[in-house]
Amino acid sequence: RTVYVNGEYLPETEAKVSVFDRGFLFADGVYEVTSVLDGKLVDFDGHAKRLERSLNELEMKAPATSDELLEIHRELVAKNGIDEGLVYLQITRGAPGDRDFAYPAADVPPTLVLFTQNKPGLADNPTAKTGIKVISVPDVRWGRRDIKTVQLLYPSMGKMMAKAAGCDDAWMVEDGKVTEGTSNNAYIVKGNKIITRELSTDILHGITRAAVLQMAREAQMEVEERAFTIDEAQSADEAFFTSASAFVMPVVEIDGVPVAGGKPGPIAARLREIYIDESRKVAL
């Protein structure tokens, strides 16, 4: 695989980052994951805008303009022959020559790393036909989940707790309400209404969420942005989640309770189809 590090395209075995990099020592960094369909980038502009926001919130310098980042994405997709897959981008606050909690001087350049993940069958994922099972876990993450930082230890632990319970993912719960999945936004359906938590600092503002909600409204579906409980989700007509890497994915069991007879529902299936079709048309 060819990867990108600070201006260079290199074989992955030759790419290097300093042991003093603040991403490594402090999880002081942000990231984006953009999907690739037909060799093109899905909603690159949305990801570039969120990246800019994450950087601003952390007072971190952008190492490249959005146009330059788009070029690097495209170059990596081409060099690695990706038809369906993902591009991972990470920016950390660089590598001062020592470990220090205070941010380094302004002349320390940020570290920019990108790599691709080849995922043939991303759009035609058979799991979308059967759905996935989730458990609920308490949400003990920090209070700025709207910033897409590389601090992903608790979501990893959630994923492991889910696996230990024979499930695929975990939905996190705070003050009795679902915040989001370990790496996705959570939804339920009641009748013709799609319900998902409102935007705040409590959740990541999913790029797929924004696109899917807009498409749902355009398709005359009703959308309500509010938090919901696990009880409400277990008795909903459908449950699903969205993310750049899974698009729209049905959830058929929550804490051992089947949702709507344990079968994926029609609204999630329709939204998945609309989202993938529309994304193919506008991908860059």
Query: What minimum distance in Å lies between the beta carbon of 60 and ligand PLP?
Result: 18
Nearer to ligand PLP, 180 or 253 (CB): 180
Nearer to ligand PLP, 111 or 208 (CB): 208
Query: What minimum distance in Å lies between the beta carbon of 107 and ligand PLP?
Result: 32
163 is catalytic: no
- What is the rounded CA–CA span in Å between residue 257 and residue 227? 20
The CA–CA distances, whole Å, from 269 to 81, 91, 140, 215 equal 29, 35, 31, 13
- Catalytic residue (one of 148, 163, 193, 263): 148
> Do residues 264 and 250 make contact, with C-beta atoms less than 8 angstroms apart?
yes
Query: What minimum distance in Å lies between the beta carbon of 179 and ligand PLP?
Result: 8
Q: To which H or E segment does residue 266 belong? A: helix 266-282
Nearer to ligand PLP, 15 or 199 (CB): 199
Phi, psi for 102 (deg, rounded to 5)? -65, 145
Binding region for ligand PLP (CB under 6 A): 33, 180, 183-185, 204, 206-209, 242-244
Nearer to ligand PLP, 122 or 204 (CB): 204
- What is the rounded CA–CA span in Å between residue 154 and residue 253? 22
Query: What minimum distance in Å lies between the beta carbon of 266 and ligand PLP?
Result: 22
Residue with tokens 């890497």: 245
Torsion of CA 157, 162, 168, 171, to 10 degrees: -80
Q: Give the residue numbers annotated as catalytic, written as ranges.
A: 148
